[in-house]
């Protein structure tokens, strides 16, 4: 994944994300936070998918609409620099 920024005017009211992907490690702190966050996003009308560590978001969503928002929670389960769960 790579961050992409676009130059766009900010509207009067923010749009709610329609498709969200939460990244975390199953059974860890990030997955518990993701479950709570997913519930809140779903209450707001968003379609939410949780993906565990090591899964390729782009490959798995190939042929589907890309998410509007990706929230990476993997670093919550790792202490220190270089151990953030991204596998690098």
CATH number of the domain encompassing residue 42: 3.40.50
R_g over Cα of the chain: 14
pLDDT, tens digit only, all 88 positions of the chain: 677 777 777 666 767 668 888 888 777 787 788 889 999 999 988 989 888 766 666 666 666 677 888 888 888 877 766 555 555 4
- Looking at residue 69, its pLDDT comes to 84
* Number of domains the chain contains: 1
**Residue 62 placed within a domain:** yes
**10 occurs within a structural domain:** no
- Which pTM value belongs to this model? 0.62
Cα 8 to chain centroid distance, Å, stands at: 22
Residue 2 lies in a domain: no
């Amino acid at each position: 994944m790579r961050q992409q920024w676009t130059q766009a005017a900010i509207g009067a009211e923010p749009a709610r994300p329609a498709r969200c992907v939460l990244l975390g490690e199953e059974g860890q702190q990030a997955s518990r936070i993701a479950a709570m966050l997913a519930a809140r996003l779903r209450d707001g009308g968003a379609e939410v998918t949780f993906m565990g560590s090591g899964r390729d978001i782009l490959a798995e969503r190939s042929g589907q609409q890309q998410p509007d928002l990706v929230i990476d929670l993997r670093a919550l389960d790792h202490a220190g620099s270089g151990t953030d769960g991204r596998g690098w």
